[in-house]
Every structure is written in C-alpha cells, then in structure tokens.
Amino acid sequence: MTGLVGIRLSCRRSERVVFTRLDFSIESGGALLLSGPNGSGKSSLLRLIAGLIKPFTGHLEYEGTRLQDDPARHREIIAYLGHQDAVKSMLTVGESTRFWAGLYDHPSDAHAAMAAMGLSDLADTPGRFLSSGQRRRAALARVIAGGTPVWLLDEPTVGLDAKSIAALESALAAHRMRGGIVLAATHAPIALPGAAELNLAEFEPQGFLDDADAA
Amino acid sequence: MSAMLRLFAHDLKLQLRLGSDLIAPVAFFVLATLLVPLGVGPEPNLLTRLAPGMIWVTALLATLLALDRLFQRDFEDGTLDLLALAPLPLEAIVLAKVAAHWVTTGLPLLIAAPVLGLMLRLDHGSYVTLEVSLLLGTPVLSMVGAFGAAVTLGARRGGALLALLVLPLYVPILIFATSAIGAAGEGLSPRPHLLLLASFFVAGLVLVPFAAAAALRNALE
C-alpha cells in the first residue's frame, strides 16, 4: 500500500476519548480535508499523525512502514503547521526559514520556499515586525522548505489575504504534483482538487471503548 | 551531528540577540557576591574563609535564574513542537540547547569568578581550582537544570517548583566544588574532589538528555 494509512485510530486526551475507530488512507499525491465541529478532534488527529500524541489504539503506516516502529522515518516525512507560527521575534524571516530548511538538510530550498509564499521582500525583516498574516506565511514557508512528503496543516489560512491563499493553493498543488500528501483541517474554503473529506463528527465515541478497540 | 550544530548556533544567536538574557545571570552573580563583604564586614580572614562557598552559592542561584528560558519560550511559541518533529532525536535537541545555555550562562560566570575571588580575598593558591571546579560544575548545573525545566514545563507556577526540584540536586555539586577550593587553599590536593565533579559531569551527559527528552515528550502530548 503506497501513501499514508491510518488504521483503527483512537485518541484519548486525559480522561476524554476524542475519536474512535478512525480509518483513512491517502495515496501519494492525494489530499484529505478534515471537517467537523469545534472540539471534534481535528487538531488532535493532526498532532497524532505528526507523532506528538501517541494513538490510544491503532497505528499509522507510510509506504508500508509502521511509523510507530520507526520514529526516525516518522520524523523525516512529516511537516506540521500548528495553531502557533513559531516565528521568533529576534530572527529575520530569511534566518528562520534557512534554519528550518537546514535542519531538514535542504538549506538551498529556503529561498524558493520564501518566494512561493511571497516573502522574498521580507527576508531581512525581523519576526517582531511581521503582521499575523505574514507570520502565518513565514510558518508555511517553513513547511515548504522542509521538503518532507507529508504536510499536516492545522487551519493554514488563518490571517491570510486572498492573494496569499492563492499562493498557498498553488504551493499545495505543486507539492501534490511531486507525489506529496496534504492533510488540512480548515473551516475556510480552500481549493484542494480531488481531495477526500473526513468528517470527524462520525467518529465520536459511542459509550465506552470496548476491549475490541484496545486489541 | 550537523543538525545538532545548526540548532546550537541558532540557539546561541537567539540568546545573544536578547542581550538582557545574557547579562542578567552574570550581573546577579557579581552583585550578590559583592553584597557579602558589605554584610559581614571587611575582615580579611573571614572573607577568605567565606569566599569559595559564597562564589559557588551565588553561581547556583545565577544559573537557576536563567533556567526557565531554556524550554519555556520555545514551548509557548510552538517551536518545541516543531523541534520534537524535526529529523534529529529529541535527546540531541536537549544536548544542543543545554550547550547553548551553558555558553550564555556558565561561561560568563567562569570569566567573572576570578575578579570576585580577588574582592573576597580568595587564597592565592585557589584560583586555578576555582576555575576548574566551575568549568566542571557549571555544565552539570545547566544539565540538571534542563531536566528540572523539562519536568516543570507547562506547570503553573513552574518557577517556584523548578527551584524546589533542582536546588536539592545541586547540593552534591556545591559540596564537592567548595571542598576542592578549600583543599587547594590549605595546600592539599583538590584532585579527588575535582574527579568526583568530573564524574557528575559524565553522568549528567549520559543521563540528562534521555530524562529531559522523556519529560518534554510528556509535556508536548
């Protein structure tokens, strides 16, 4: 099986079960749009796929590899955009993007990534002078610069203007053309042609988890 | 390895740009130590006896002062999430961050200490031992502190908790460092004490990255 697969995933945050028995599969080049009301677990699912939360049950596979068994591989394939932009006020956009690109061993991709999000003119601007939309774009440039195949985007369009949303859409299309995978949780309309949709509300737990789930 | 060096250089750059971060611990170290002669009086023999202990106690507190910034800011602005997902293990990230932290807090203490020794009339024979004890001891303070900072990350009132957790763990370092300086002052060999400090350093280097990384994973979940 190629692409990214999640099998019988459930997620528990302290005492609360957020979702249960969730399956998904995305072919390489595919996209999955997460929907569902607030609190239905979209962010939790993205953090779980990223590897920040351990699944309570179930597992993830990428290109046939069980990711829980190979954490180094897991870290190599994921780029995660959370609610926070992780933009440092004391560093310029160029310095931050080059740092993250360097951590993923693609230092030369930083320039193209900034250009893709329309940040070329802001490369020498320190983070503290950026507007919230510009900070979001810097965070997206960081995702692009990593050069990883799986992008997990939590509300990627927050604070973006129409032009930046268009830039994001073409970056997503280019990523999928190269065989990349996109998972996005968003309430705003965003063009992801051919994307499957996953409604988290369907996986709300009914009563208690039974033993079959834990097996 | 190159990713670790990149993170180290990145952290160092960030801390150097926040000038106040760099100055606060060493300024505290100097000022707090200078208060001692004002408090106990300028009697030379008394100061000579107090000097090793005073220098080391204020060094402990100065390190403690800078600990909360080790992970707290990265935790608050989401950087720690991204670092945990980056292609290098979290243990390597802890080590790189501790190294950058030591360069900006421990190293300035090392440079300021001889001047304070002069003001507190430290024995002439004790300066080398003072510096060696700081060179071996302050990295352990940073490492143990990193473990404490990771464990208390995300806790309310983490600062007070951090001090309660970390200060008892600092006791052995304080005891052996000051014994080494005292021994040198009396013309005895400080070697056994310094070797024990060196063993703490090695043990910290091996154990702290794993313990702190485990605590960080817990905080991020």
Q: In which residue are the tokens 């959370």 written?
A: A82
In chain A, % of residues over pLDDT 90: 54
Structure-block tokens of residue A149: 């195949």
What pLDDT is attached to residue A126? 92
Minimum distance, in Å, between the CA of residue A85 and any CA atom of chain B: 7
Give Cα B22 to chain centroid, integer Å: 13
Collect all residues with Cβ–Cβ distance below 8 Å to B192 and sequence separation of at least 6.
none
Minimum distance, in Å, between the CA of residue B184 and any CA atom of chain A: 44
Nearest residue to A176 (alpha-carbon basis) of A196, A199, A205, A204: A196
What pLDDT is attached to residue B68? 82
CA pair distance B93, B79, nearest whole angstrom: 12
Minimum distance, in Å, between the CA of residue B177 and any CA atom of chain A: 37
A88–B14 CB contact, under 8 Å: yes
B82–A80 CB contact, under 8 Å: yes
* Count of the separate structural domains present in chain B: 1
CB B158 within 8 A of CB B68: yes
ipTM over 0.95: no
How many CA atoms lie less than 13 Å away from A154 in the CB half-sphere? 19
What pLDDT is attached to residue B187? 87
Is a pLDDT exceeding 70 seen at residue B103? yes
What pLDDT is attached to residue A209? 52
CA pair distance B190, B133, nearest whole angstrom: 9
What pLDDT is attached to residue A215? 41
CA distances from B63 to A1, A59, A95, B134 (A): 52, 42, 29, 12
Bridge-based pairing of strands A57-62 and A65-66 is antiparallel
Domain encompassing residue B74: 2-220
> Hey, is the C-beta of A84 within 8 angstroms of any chain B C-beta?
yes
Is a pLDDT exceeding 70 seen at residue A1? no
Tally A–B CB contacts below 8 A.
Answer: 64
Collect all residues with Cβ–Cβ distance below 8 Å to B27 and sequence separation of at least 6.
none
In CATH terms, the superfamily for domain A4-208 is P-loop containing nucleotide triphosphate hydrolases (3.40.50.300)
In the beta sheet, which residues pair with residue A92? A126
Grouping H, G, I as helix, E, B as strand and the rest as coil, residue B1 is coil
- The average pLDDT across A89-116 equals 89
**What are B105-161's pLDDT values in tens digits?**
999 999 999 999 998 888 888 999 999 999 999 999 999 999 999 999 988 777 788
Helix axes B191-220, B158-185, angle to 10 degrees: 170
Neighbours of B59 (CB within 10 A): 32
**Partner residue opposite A90 with nearest CB, options B7, B14, B81:** B14
B81–A80 CB contact, under 8 Å: yes
Residue A105: phi, psi to the nearest 5? Answer: 65, 30
Within 67-86 of B, beta carbons closer than 8 Å to A belong to 77-79, 81-82, 84-86
A90–B3 CB contact, under 8 Å: no
For an interface test with A, the pick among B85, B217, B221 (most A C-beta atoms closer than 10 Å) comes out as: B85
Is a pLDDT exceeding 90 seen at residue B97? yes
Neighbours of B201 (CB within 10 A): 18
Q: Out of A94-103, A182-191, B25-34, pick the least confident.
A: A182-191
Q: Out of A191-195, B83-87, B119-123, pick the least confident.
A: A191-195
Minimum distance, in Å, between the CA of residue B211 and any CA atom of chain A: 17
What pLDDT is attached to residue B1? 63
A86–B79 CB contact, under 8 Å: yes
SS (H, E, C) chain A: CCCEEEEEEEEEECCEEEEEEEEEEECCCCEEEEECCCCCCHHHHHHHHHCCCCCCEEEEEECCEEHHHCHHHHHHHEEEECCCCCCCCCCEHHHHHHHHHHHCCCCCHHHHHHHHCCCHHHCCCEHHHCCHHHHHHHHHHHHHHHCCCEEEEECCCCCCCHHHHHHHHHHHHHHHHCCCEEEEECCCCCCCCCCEEEEHHHHCCCCCCCHHHHC
Chain-wide mean pLDDT for chain A? 88
Minimum distance, in Å, between the CA of residue B167 and any CA atom of chain A: 31
B77–A102 CB contact, under 8 Å: no
> Hey, is the C-beta of A90 within 8 angstroms of any chain B C-beta?
yes
